[in-house]
């Protein structure tokens, strides 16, 4: 039966792709906005008083997505666009009859815009109806930006484009001017007139109102650029070439093992805009001193933990080097394998090169990094190549290879992937069907046909009914050395169904219910076909209120099959065997946009042959636009026949902002399992857009003896300046 299911799954996948290849792009009938070319510069101050703004076309037809679907926005909102040879200017009029109730508590770069009054712009510069550059502002002039891919299927929140904003808050509301250099964007060169996709969204947090210009139906997010409108009037955009040079200088001191030594370094990046579509990045003696410390985790499973990539060089263009494998069991390319050891210590990067771009329907990426010899590991080259081809309206096929070369030994991880996507399934529903096949190879072992993994999935991510199913396999021989294997030697099937009704007459205080009759995971050891893991979860009740509170309660049946003894904690060993138990999961949160909010989640019940309780609580105080503090506490209490223990993880993050271009954070964490405290202080100053100054203090404190013993202290200052030649 399982083999038959897999054959049918692949047959449907192939059929849909063969159909997608024959699709013709349908004529686009969405509304448009016309950019007005200007000759004279405007005063960039957020006041929108110039005659050019009065002459430009304004759009104002914003429609609610939340809370009252299909109704006009309650506060007047207007947008206009100007362009000159170098920049796009977006004027935003966010009128508000109660400006004293505007929620704007942040000024820092990449602020938490889900908690603020904000305005969003997304640009689909290739008009491929798939990918976009998203810009977010709030009334204080805080900025956030990200790249979105596959109509919101993935995003790169760490992309930092060069752009700026000025805002004004008056008795009539708040107003903004956004200034985006064309070189920040990628677009097709040479056309007499460009036509881009564009959409706008305004969020009014006090009443949880969300309104869009286009694509306001609830099955679509703003990142779903298949629903965006059109931006016209982009005539004769210059096919500009430029070279951006970003050197850095670093200096400071480090104290460890009773000794203090000076720390200093230089290096930098060179970015070459080869064309509006292709960008070459070169990096030398790459440094990541400004990156915030990882959030600590306590692992009570037999599977490795995942730590997200935080380094900007690897985050920019992240989607280009995504194998498209999906899920979280196998990550074929894990960029933290480059420049970081298994213990998360820095491995020096000598130099690297990367080229990214898109021409017509073809997306190409190439990256090569050379690391230095460190910690007993030899100097190593990492080279990755990717190709992706748009098919039909929203579908895609692709291929990618990642190679690791050291001391004459060559490892490669190579695969193909594809995805059929449509926003028109059964009318206006989303449907995604995709999969990937990946092979690993080692030159010292030769070709191994069984070193092959695959994954296939089908998803209907819609507002009322959300369905997801997948199947995947990874044999023992499959080992991506530049990847992360969170499970090995397994076959897994997964299925989940969510019903998410929105009450209309009764329960008017509820925004949306969330019920799940099934969330099933079944994993076997690939070689023996014995049980590896099992979970059957039912969401008996879940809901979100119109005021922003959230709640859910799950019941879960769990099993783990251990093929060897498992040391879950120091001197606590669970014997090989098969274990079944029941769990109960609970979650509650208040509306985060309030000045004071909190959330709590807990899981309790049986655990292997004993019992356990796991809980986490978070409190957020958004005191002013200059200051907010987050407190987090996690607790595990484990009672097993083999032994009992408990763990604590305490964290606090303080964020402050003096100005939208002067801000920082203080992160403190203590982990009882490691008896270690980590303190990370960061201050960032942006003298001008593109140039950054950082001041960083890192402190690791050993608490094993019951005292606070400073184990390692680092104080650094780093300047990254930017100039264009």
Q: Is the pLDDT of residue 172 over 60?
A: yes
**Does any domain span residue 126?**
yes
At residue 29, the pLDDT reads 52
Per-residue pLDDT tens over the stretch 597-626: 999 999 999 999 999 999 999 999 999 989
Co-location of 339 and 389 in the same domain: yes
Co-location of 230 and 338 in the same domain: no
**Does any domain span residue 700?**
no
Angle at 332 between CA 352 and CA 334, to 5 degrees: 45
Q: Which of 324, 312, 331, 363 is nearest to 157 (CA)?
A: 312
Average pLDDT for 209-234: 93
Q: To the nearest 10°, the Cα dihedral for 418, 421, 426, 428?
A: 170
Task: Kindly tell me the sign of the dihedral angle through the C-alpha atoms of 206, 207, 212, 217.
Answer: positive
Q: Under a CB-based contact definition with an 8 Å cutoff, are residues 125 and 133 in contact?
A: yes
**Does any domain span residue 691?**
no
Q: Is the pLDDT of residue 238 over 80?
A: no
Q: Under a CB-based contact definition with an 8 Å cutoff, are residues 665 and 655 in contact?
A: yes
Per-residue pLDDT tens over the stretch 364-420: 999 999 999 987 789 999 999 999 999 988 899 999 999 999 999 999 999 999 999
Average pLDDT for 126-149: 92
**Does any domain span residue 556?**
yes
Distance, CA of 197 to CA of 33 (rounded, Å): 10
Co-location of 23 and 115 in the same domain: no
Co-location of 4 and 61 in the same domain: no
Distance, CA of 420 to CA of 440 (rounded, Å): 25
For residue 191, what are the contacts with CB-CB under 8 A and spacing of at least 6? 237
Which of 449, 483, 517 is at the close of a domain?
483
Average pLDDT for 587-594: 94
Strands (E), 213-241: 229-235
Q: Under a CB-based contact definition with an 8 Å cutoff, are residues 625 and 599 in contact?
A: no
Co-location of 51 and 77 in the same domain: yes
Average pLDDT for 501-527: 93
**Does any domain span residue 678?**
no
Distance, CA of 154 to CA of 320 (rounded, Å): 11
**Does any domain span residue 477?**
yes
Per-residue pLDDT tens over the stretch 320-352: 888 888 888 999 999 989 988 777 778 899 999
Co-location of 553 and 453 in the same domain: no
Quick one: what percent of the chain has pLDDT higher than 70?
95
Average pLDDT for 443-460: 94
Which of 631, 651, 673 is at the close of a domain?
673
Report residue 520's pLDDT band, with 50, 70 and 90 as the boundaries: very high
Q: Is the pLDDT of residue 33 over 90?
A: yes
Distance, CA of 620 to CA of 106 (rounded, Å): 13
Co-location of 470 and 579 in the same domain: no
Co-location of 455 and 332 in the same domain: yes
More confident call, 292 vs 678? 678
The whole domain housing 167 covers: 31-235
**Does any domain span residue 257?**
no
Per-residue pLDDT tens over the stretch 690-713: 899 999 999 999 888 778 888 889
| Backbone φ and ψ of 182, nearest 5° | -65, -30
More confident call, 191 vs 373? 373
What total of structural domains would you count in the chain? 3
At residue 568, the pLDDT reads 94
Alpha helices in 550-664 (DSSP H): none
3 state DSSP class of 184: helix
Angle at 232 between CA 229 and CA 234, to 5 degrees: 135
HEC readout, 292-349: CCCCCCCCCCCCCCCCCCCCHHHHCCHHHHCCCCCCCCEECCCHHHCCECCCCCECCE
At residue 240, the pLDDT reads 67
| Backbone φ and ψ of 661, nearest 5° | -115, 20
Co-location of 368 and 455 in the same domain: yes
Q: Is the pLDDT of residue 26 over 50?
A: no
Average pLDDT for 128-134: 91
Co-location of 334 and 476 in the same domain: yes
**Residue that the structure tokens 């096929």 belong to:** 397
Q: Is the pLDDT of residue 354 over 70?
A: yes
Report residue 679's pLDDT band, with 50, 70 and 90 as the boundaries: very high
Q: Which of 319, 303, 314 is nearest to 340 (CA)?
A: 314
At residue 239, the pLDDT reads 66
CATH code: domain of residue 102:
2.60.40.1190
**Does any domain span residue 705?**
no
Q: What does pLDDT average to over the chain?
A: 90
Report residue 674's pLDDT band, with 50, 70 and 90 as the boundaries: confident
Co-location of 511 and 573 in the same domain: yes
Quick one: what percent of the chain has pLDDT higher than 90?
69
Mean pLDDT is lowest, of 4-8, 280-284, 438-442, for 4-8
Distance, CA of 328 to CA of 333 (rounded, Å): 12
Q: Is the pLDDT of residue 184 over 90?
A: no
Which range has the top average pLDDT, 43-47, 314-318, 550-554?
A: 550-554
CA 164 to chain centre: 22
For residue 365, what are the contacts with CB-CB under 8 A and spacing of at least 6? 317, 320, 321, 354, 355, 356, 357, 384, 385, 386
Distance, CA of 47 to CA of 478 (rounded, Å): 59
| Backbone φ and ψ of 312, nearest 5° | -60, -40
Report residue 160's pLDDT band, with 50, 70 and 90 as the boundaries: confident
At residue 313, the pLDDT reads 79
Q: Is the pLDDT of residue 2 over 70?
A: no
Co-location of 568 and 449 in the same domain: no
């Amino acid at each position: 039966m399982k083999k038959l299911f897999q054959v049918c799954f692949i047959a449907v996948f192939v059929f849909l792709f063969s159909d997608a290849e024959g699709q013709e792009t349908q004529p686009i009938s969405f509304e448009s906005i016309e950019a007005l070319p200007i000759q004279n510069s405007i005063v960039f101050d957020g006041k929108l008083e110039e005659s050019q703004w009065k002459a430009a076309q304004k759009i104002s037809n914003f429609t609610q997505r939340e809370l009252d679907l299909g109704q006009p926005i309650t506060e007047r909102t207007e947008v206009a666009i100007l362009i000159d040879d170098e920049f796009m200017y977006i004027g935003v009029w966010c009128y508000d009859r109660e400006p004293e109730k505007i929620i704007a508590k942040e000024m820092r770069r990449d602020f938490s815009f889900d908690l603020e009054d904000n305005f969003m712009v997304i640009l689909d510069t290739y008009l491929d109806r798939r990918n976009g550059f998203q810009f977010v502002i709030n009334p204080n002039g805080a900025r956030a930006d990200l790249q979105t891919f596959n109509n919101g299927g993935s995003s790169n929140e760490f992309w930092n484009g060069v752009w700026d904003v000025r805002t004004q808050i008056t008795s009539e509301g708040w107003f903004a001017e956004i200034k985006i250099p064309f070189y920040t964007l990628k677009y097709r060169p040479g056309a007499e007139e460009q036509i881009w996709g564009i959409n706008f969204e305004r969020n009014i947090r006090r009443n949880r109102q969300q309104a869009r210009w286009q694509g306001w139906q609830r099955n679509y997010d703003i990142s779903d650029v298949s629903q965006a409108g059109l931006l016209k009037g982009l005539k004769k955009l210059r096919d500009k070439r430029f070279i951006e040079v970003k050197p850095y200088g670093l200096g400071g001191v480090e104290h460890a093992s009773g000794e203090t030594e000076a720390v200093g370094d230089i290096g930098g990046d060179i970015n070459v805009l080869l064309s509006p579509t292709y960008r070459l990045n070169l990096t030398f003696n790459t440094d990541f001193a400004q990156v915030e410390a990882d959030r600590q985790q306590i692992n009570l499973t037999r599977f490795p933990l995942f730590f997200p990539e935080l380094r900007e060089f690897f985050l920019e263009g992240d989607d280009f080097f995504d194998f498209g494998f999906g899920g979280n069991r196998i990550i074929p390319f894990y960029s933290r394998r480059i420049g970081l050891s298994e213990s998360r210590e820095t491995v020096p990067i000598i130099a690297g090169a990367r080229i990214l771009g898109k021409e017509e329907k073809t997306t190409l990426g190439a990256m090569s990094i050379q690391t230095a010899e460190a910690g007993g590991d030899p100097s190593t080259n990492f080279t990755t190549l990717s190709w992706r081809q748009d098919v039909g309206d929203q579908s895609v096929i692709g291929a990618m290879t990642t190679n690791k070369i050291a001391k004459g030994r060559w490892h490669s991880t190579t695969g193909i992937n594809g995805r059929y996507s449509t926003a028109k399934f059964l009318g206006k529903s989303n449907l995604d069907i995709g999969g990937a096949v990946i092979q690993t190879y080692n030159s010292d072992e030769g070709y191994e046909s069984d070193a092959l993994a695959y994954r296939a999935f089908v998803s209907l991510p819609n507002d009322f009914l959300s369905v997801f199913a997948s199947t995947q396999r990874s044999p023992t021989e499959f080992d991506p050395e530049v990847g992360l294997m969170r499970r090995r030697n397994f076959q897994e099937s997964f299925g989940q169904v969510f019903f998410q009704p929105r009450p209309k007459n009764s329960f008017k205080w509820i925004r949306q219910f969330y019920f799940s009759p099934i969330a099933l995971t079944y994993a076997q050891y690939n070689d023996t076909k014995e049980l590896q893991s099992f979970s059957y979860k039912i969401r008996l009740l879940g809901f979100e209120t119109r005021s922003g509170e959230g709640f859910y309660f799950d019941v879960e049946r769990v099993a783990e099959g251990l093929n060897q003894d498992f040391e879950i904690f120091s001197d606590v060993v669970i014997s090989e065997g098969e274990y079944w138990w029941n769990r109960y999961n609970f979650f509650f949160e208040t509306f985060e946009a309030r000045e004071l909010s909190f959330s709590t989640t807990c899981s309790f019940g049986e655990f292997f042959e004993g019992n356990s309780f796991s809980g986490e609580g978070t409190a957020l105080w958004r005191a002013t636009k200059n200051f907010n503090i987050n407190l987090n506490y996690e607790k595990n209490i484990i009672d097993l026949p083999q032994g009992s223990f408990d763990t604590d993880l305490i964290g606090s993050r303080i964020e402050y902002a003096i100005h939208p271009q002067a801000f920082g954070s203080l992160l403190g964490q203590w982990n009882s399992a490691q008896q270690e405290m980590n303190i990370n202080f960061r201050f960032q100053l942006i003298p001008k857009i593109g140039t950054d100054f950082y001041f960083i203090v890192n402190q690791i404190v050993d608490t094993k003896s019951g005292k606070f013993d400073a184990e390692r202290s680092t104080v650094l200052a780093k300047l990254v300046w930017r100039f264009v030649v």
